Structure 1
Amino acid sequence: MVKKRVRDPEVLAEAPQVQDEDSGSDTNMDVVDVEFEWFNFKPDIDFHGLKALLRQLLDVDSQLFDLSALTDLILSQPTVGSTVKVDGEDTDAYAFLTVLNMHEHREKGTIKGMIQYVLEKSKGNQSLAAVGNVLSSSAQVGLVLTERLINAPSEISPPMYSMLIDELEAAVEDKEPYEFTHYLILSKTYREIASVLDQEDTPRSKKTKAAKGSSEIFYFHPEDEVLQRYALAYGTYEYTKDEGEGMADSKRAFQEMGIKPQGSMILIEADKFEGAVKAISEYISPQQ
């Protein structure tokens, strides 16, 4: 059985609350204790769950990539990166984190396509100019991919990043190709936009219309805010594929505004990555 290079699986003390509504007007709130466990990737178990998480991470632009090939590449390096599960190792992951050597795998179709995609998205965006410059050089760039189910707590993220640091150190000691000069975190953010459903000239619709085009950025992954403090470059970009009018309304999440997801890149120099990971642990700690 493949084991973690270091650290035994850890457990979070408390999971997010889940809401149980009865037929009356009262609402009962129950707290469900969930034990999260960290595992290495297991190819014969994790393929479909990991592929689904990659599709969620890349959003509509997931159609541009061979997700099966990308999933296989991740699973081919089982001792670098983690999955997070609840009901044991032989179940689907709630979350994952890994890093791929973009230089080492540059001739593989899935990474070649990823490099072209990143270069295209960094063009014309001054905040992401350094990303294109680094990828066009001989730099050893580690592509960090991480995603979790929408209801998974952010507290599972710090242990994954901390384990990754330890695993990379062990891999380098074993002469494996994980000695990076930079880390590129591919993530996503969103903006709130006015709903196309609110057409009447009511106070509510006036409010949402006034907010249309807001530039405020919100984070699916709160740790991205911390990582940006250590970044050589970071920024957002529009997806290539069009969701179509009305898709933002389907993602309203029971609020007045619709949301428009965007891609996000964070480029961090290797000598600052460990400090960024420590800052994540300080910023996001398990609930007491």
Structure 2
Amino acid sequence: TSWQSLVDVSFEFFDPNPNVDYHAIKRLLTQLFQRDAEQLYVHELTELVLSQPTVGTTIKTDGIESDPYALFTVLNMHLHHQNTSIKAIANYLLSVTEAHDPAFHSTLKALFSQSEAHVGLVLCERLINMPVQVVPPMYNMLADEVKWANADGEPYQFTHLVFISRVYHLSEDEESILANSASTRRSRPTEPNSSLKKQKKHRPPDGEQNGAARPADGIYPYHPEDDILLKPALHSMTYPYVAPLPALVQENRARDTFGLDIRGRVVLV
């Protein structure tokens, strides 16, 4: 037998709030950039996100004064090219594409070096237990906000969009371990007094598709909507993070301790 519990949660959509959202948005951006976050000046990036409260969306569950669990916004990289973080992100993207995809690098270099094309940097991140169903409304809201901003003469007329996201890589052995673990959990009876929080601890990233064929490269998106962006993309690339792994993580992986091999992905649309 199995036991299930349903919890109703109301998700509320808000504009970014400079008065209460700073720390939570900074955490989400740090989660997005992983161990490369420090070199990208996440503090300055957070301040920039909060400086345009009419473009962008956060999701909360306990009213406007609570912490956001998700963020979706777009920044004009040309307009803010002197901002410390935007400058660092542009150089970062040029560096990783130069190392792994010269054609992508050439395209970005051309876009960043002239003023006619305005590139929008799309930042989308959420806590892992947030359902994917919250994503379409955020896309619709951002599209409306950009349209209204352009109607008011604000600089949101983009020729290209850059999406930065996270993926993870599973070797065939790691995938077998994960599949066996999931099978064991599904077959094990769940006690009636087990907490929902305890069940959620084992939830895989949103991108894991139960029963789906393994990608040839073993790369899975953290968020399933990220793969949809690959269809209209001019360029896309997965890359290892620049900053080295912490010593403890290196030691664990050397001992074959299971852990996700997290990488970055950049997509140009």
Q: Name the TM-score class by shorter chain.
A: 0.7 to 0.9
- The alignment's TM-score, normalised by the length of structure 2, stands at 0.77
Count of residues paired in the alignment: 223
Aligned match of 1:228: 230
- Which of 152, 162, 169 aligns to 1:174? It is 152
- Which of 72, 77, 80 aligns to 2:52? It is 77
Matched residues in 2 for 1:161 and 1:250: separation?
Answer: 38
User: For residues 249 and 153 of structure 1, do their structure 2 counterparts lie closer, same or farther at Cα, with a shift above 3 Å needed?
Assistant: farther
Which protein has greater RCO, CA pairs closer than 8 Å, 6+ apart? 2
- Which of 84, 94, 101 aligns to 1:109? It is 84
Aligned match of 1:12: none
TM-fit CA distance, 1:224: 0.9
The residue matched to 1:44 in structure 2 has which SS?
coil
Q: Does 1:258 align with 2:236?
A: no
Matched residues in 1 for 2:40 and 2:130: separation?
Answer: 25
Q: Can you list the C-alpha shifts for 1:221-271, whole angstroms capped at 9, x where unaligned?
A: 1111111101111111110111246638979xxxx9532111111111xxx
The residue matched to 2:80 in structure 1 has which SS?
coil
Q: Identify unmatched segments of 5+ residues in structure 2.
A: 182-215
TM-fit CA distance, 1:116: 0.6
Letter in 1 for 2:243: K
Looking at secondary structure, tell me which structure has more strand per residue: 1
CA contact (8 A) 1:131 1:233 kept: no
Q: Identify unmatched segments of 5+ residues in structure 1.
A: 1-25, 199-203, 205-213, 269-288
Alignment map for 1:195-214 (pairs within 5 Å): none
- The alignment's TM-score, normalised by the length of structure 1, stands at 0.72
Q: Does 1:144 align with 2:154?
A: no
Alignment map for 1:57-72 (pairs within 5 Å): 57-72=32-47
The residue matched to 2:229 in structure 1 has which SS?
helix
The residue matched to 1:171 in structure 2 has which SS?
helix
Aligned match of 1:97: 72
Matched residues in 2 for 1:86 and 1:248: separation?
Answer: 37
TM-fit CA distance, 1:135: 2.5
Q: Does 1:153 align with 2:128?
A: no
Matched residues in 1 for 2:18 and 2:268: separation?
Answer: 29
Alignment map for 1:117-128 (pairs within 5 Å): 117-124=92-99, 125-126=101-102, 128=104
Aligned match of 1:15: none
Alignment map for 1:243-254 (pairs within 5 Å): 243-244=245-246, 247=249
- Which of 151, 156, 165 aligns to 2:143? It is 165
Aligned match of 1:239: 241
TM-fit CA distance, 1:73: 0.5
User: Aligned Cα RMSD in Å?
Assistant: 2.4
Runs of 4+ deviating beyond 3 Å? 248-251
Matched residues in 1 for 2:24 and 2:130: separation?
Answer: 14
The residue matched to 2:150 in structure 1 has which SS?
helix
Matched residues in 2 for 1:150 and 1:69: separation?
Answer: 24
Matched residues in 2 for 1:245 and 1:235: separation?
Answer: 27
CA contact (8 A) 1:123 1:132 kept: no
